[in-house]
Chain A
Amino acid sequence: MNQHNTQRVVITGMGVVAPNGHGLDNYEQALRNGISGIKHHEHLAEANFACQVGGIPENMDTVKHDYLSEESLLAMNEAMIFGAIAAIDCWRDAGLPEPGEEPDWDTGAIIGTGISGLDTIGNKLIPLVDKGRVKRLGSTMVEQVMASSSSANIGGLLALGGQVTTNSSACTTGTEAIVNGYHKINSGHLKRMLVGGTEGASKYSWAGFDAMRVLARGYNDKPAQASRPMSASAVGFVPGSGAGMLMLESLDSALQRGARIYAEVIGVDVNCGGQRNGGSTTFPNPTGVQRCIQAALKHAGIDGSAVDLINGHLTATMADPYEINNWREALNCSPEQLPKINATKSLVGHALGAAGGLECVASVLQLSRGFVHGSLNCEDLHPDLEAYADSIVHKTEDSDAQILAKASFGFGDVNACTIFKTFNP
């Protein structure tokens, strides 16, 4: 079926640290029950943010001690902690043995991040350097501020012996990591790739978006209503954080060790719209988006009509109606024929470099556990989306969907699309 295939690529484990739930079962329940992870945060109010709501995973200061030693935590900032917990969960969920003295030469990792350790930079690095107290920084700065901080940390925690690296492509990052990992396995380079994204919740990461006026305003006293993808009253996205990880594995390896298979990755693509044809750093060239989705479908060897579900990028900005029009064009269908579509960001906010990770975990959970989660806060559908009303899922329903298309888009006019399918040997 897949014309490029040398090794089929399946998903054999997942891990998630989300604002509305840690762990697959909690996350599934939160998605099914429409539980929002968006809360008001006093530190954002104190810093005079217009948007004082955000999605931050809860209880992680306690949970982290169940996963990470005191010694490890000395050199870990928030993005590294979220990423490590999700990666360890993913590893165990995949049924792999606890790491020993010998590296696992068959497994690598691509752990994306959008902004990385700005909490470390803002709270410690810059204040101490500006006071001329460089010596006081100690030994743990570099490993917390280097772009590859999370992948390097995870590579050590899990004794990974394959390629261990970081990708970064703004809000496309998490999904791009899956695409990149897919190629490593499909080409036969490695048996397994731990892929996904992680992002901390630093106010320093979020401030620039607030100043751009792209964050949701006017919902500080009703945080659960703040993230409103596809709504007529959408006024910007809600910043989020967390980590979502997937274990990609060659089908041969998965079958050989009797691993549980959640789903198959049957098609992938990444591209860039070149910031032409209406595209810019911050807005996508529609042709680029459509070509990316179509290339992923072609790679999967399927027509647009075979897609049962769409998990959109859908951030709750003015771009949402454009995105849905791009899906319709890419799938070559009428508005009424658009597959069921939902927006995970309505529940967790926009976790930037982790968004693709959190949303791909949500996508695969929906396929493997037979449901499609409702999108919150779009009862007042955007007027440009009225023709799509029957496709937009408001309340969670059971689903026998076989094929789900997931896309993420990011600053730089970059796009990523993955096609997931329920596993049939």
Chain B
Amino acid sequence: MSNDVFEQVKEIVSPYCKNKEALESATAETSFLEDLAINSARLVDIVIDFEDEFDIEVSDDEADKIRTIGDAVTVINAKS
């Protein structure tokens, strides 16, 4: 399950990544802003995509704590 979620997260964030190479070799520790060069404003859109894809609701506080792919997987797994 967790591995599927990890791959799904990678797929969801892919359009927002300016560093696609970093995405290909991503691990749980890969950060959205520094490693994947995602525009910080777009984290809002990524969280909306998580909500749609996994049919969950993510609070603003929870969203603020998502910095890496691993963080996202943890939040999603706790809710789905």
Contacts and interface: CB of A to CB of B under 8 A. Distances in A.
Interface of A: 69-71, 74, 135-136, 138-140
B17 interface: yes
Given A71-B15, A71-B18, A74-B15, 17 more contacts: A69-B18, A70-B15, A71-B16, A71-B17, A71-B39, A74-B16, A74-B42, A74-B45, A135-B48, A138-B44, A138-B45, A139-B43, A139-B44, A139-B45, A140-B41, A140-B42, A140-B45
Top 4 A-B pairs, shortest CB-CB distance: A139-B41, A138-B45, A139-B44, A70-B15
Interface in B38-54: 39, 41-45, 48
Nearest to B17: A71
A138 B48 contact: yes
Nearest to B37: A71
Contacts, number: 24
Contacts of B41: 139-140
Interface of B: 15-18, 39, 41-45, 48
Contacts of B48: 135-136, 138
A136 B51 CA distance: 10
Main secondary structure of the interface of B (DSSP, over half): helix
Nearest to A73: B15
A71 B14 CA distance: 9
A139 B42 contact: yes
Contacts of A140: 41-42, 45
Contacts of B17: 71
A140 B44 CA distance: 9
A378 B43 CA distance: 55
Contacts of B42: 74, 139-140
A74 B43 CA distance: 13
17 contacts: A69-B18, A71-B15, A71-B16, A71-B17, A71-B18, A71-B39, A74-B15, A74-B16, A74-B45, A135-B48, A136-B48, A138-B44, A138-B45, A139-B42, A139-B45, A140-B42, A140-B45
Nearest to A142: B41
A363 B41 CA distance: 41
Contacts of B16: 71, 74
B70 to A, nearest CB: 22
A74 B41 CA distance: 12
Contacts of A71: 15-18, 39
Contacts of A74: 15-16, 42, 45
Contacts of A69: 18
A137 to B, nearest CB: 9
Contacts of A136: 48
Contacts of B15: 70-71, 74
B37 to A, nearest CB: 9
A368 B41 CA distance: 45
Nearest to B39: A71
Nearest to B43: A139
A138 B45 CA distance: 5
